[in-house]
Homo-oligomer: A and B are copies of this chain.
Amino acid sequence: MHRINGRTIAREIEEKLKGQIHNETPCLATLKIGDDASSKIYRKVIEQACKRLGIKPIQIDLPINIEEKAAIKKIRELNDDETIHGILIHHPIPSHLNQQNIIQTINPLKDVDGLHPLNLGSLLLGNEFLTPCTPAAVIKILGYENIFLQGKEVVIINHSPIIGKPLAIMLLNRNATVTICHVHTQNLKKHTTKADILITGTGVAGLITKEYIKKGSTIIDIGISQLPDGTICGDINFSSILSKAKAATPVPGGVGPVTVASLMENCIKTYKRLKKKGKKEGKE
């Protein structure tokens, strides 16, 4: 079985991105509400990627008990600030805040996470300018693996609005046959054993054994779990699938680094579009 190296793919993407910003400094604002541990780690990884690419990171922290009005006011300030080109809001957003109100406040032109309804709706209509970073990473990895998606049987285990739903749309945009499973699916194995490509994002450590997969299939792992001893692992039981799968992504070092590279790509895209727009308006 071929172990897909997400770090190598991410570095290749970053190298291409570096070529796109000479003597320019896009600025990415990350907004964290509260004190979630995984958000802290993600932010650190983002900061390191920004440094490698010459993107300026700005970190904003809001208290966990902030009122919705105050959070929205802060986001509007970031929208209005012309020196900021991308805005990312860390998940989870505290549950007392209306998640959609918060996300919808971001200027869609600065929506590096691709989660503003205008960007998600454009995706559904086939326009993939700013796409959510994890689904974008999955598509990129399949591209690097030279997997032609048209007509392929793809099964996704995840139906969240951040991962499973937009990923299904992106795969349909490429004419794959797509099945979306989740916690309410009656007979999961029946579906997963038919998949040429299985994309799993359950957060159940080691769920995907050889009994769940088709011989010669490619398995992409979006699951992240922390074992009692502190080890980070994904949904795949690697030793079990070794002799049956054709290729699989590890956790860590699989989808994660490519997700960060996709975020960097989105930030450079928003930067370039805002600059172009600014020039056009300056001329008028």
Q: Which residues of A contact B (CB under 8 A)?
A: 100, 103, 115-127, 150-151, 153, 159, 161, 164-166, 168-169, 172, 175-182, 184-186, 190-191, 194
Bound: A186/B148 CA distance, A: 14
Tell me which residues across on chain B come within 8 A of A172, comparing CB atoms. 159, 164-165, 168, 180, 182
Bound: A168/B165 CA distance, A: 9
Q: Is the interface of A mostly helix, strand, loop or mixed?
A: mixed
Whole-angstrom distance between the Cβ of A50 and the nearest chain B Cβ: 27
Bound: A127/B120 CA distance, A: 13
Do A177 and B169 form a contact, CB below 8 Å, given A125-B117, A125-B120? no
Top-9 shortest CB links A-B: A117-B121, A121-B121, A120-B121, A179-B179, A175-B184, A151-B184, A177-B185, A117-B122, A120-B124
Whole-angstrom distance between the Cβ of A123 and the nearest chain B Cβ: 8
User: Which residue of the partner chain, among B124, B182, B191, contacts A166 with CB atoms under 8 Å?
Assistant: B124
Bound: A153/B119 CA distance, A: 29
Whole-angstrom distance between the Cβ of A164 and the nearest chain B Cβ: 8
Do A124 and B125 form a contact, CB below 8 Å, given A151-B185, A177-B191? no
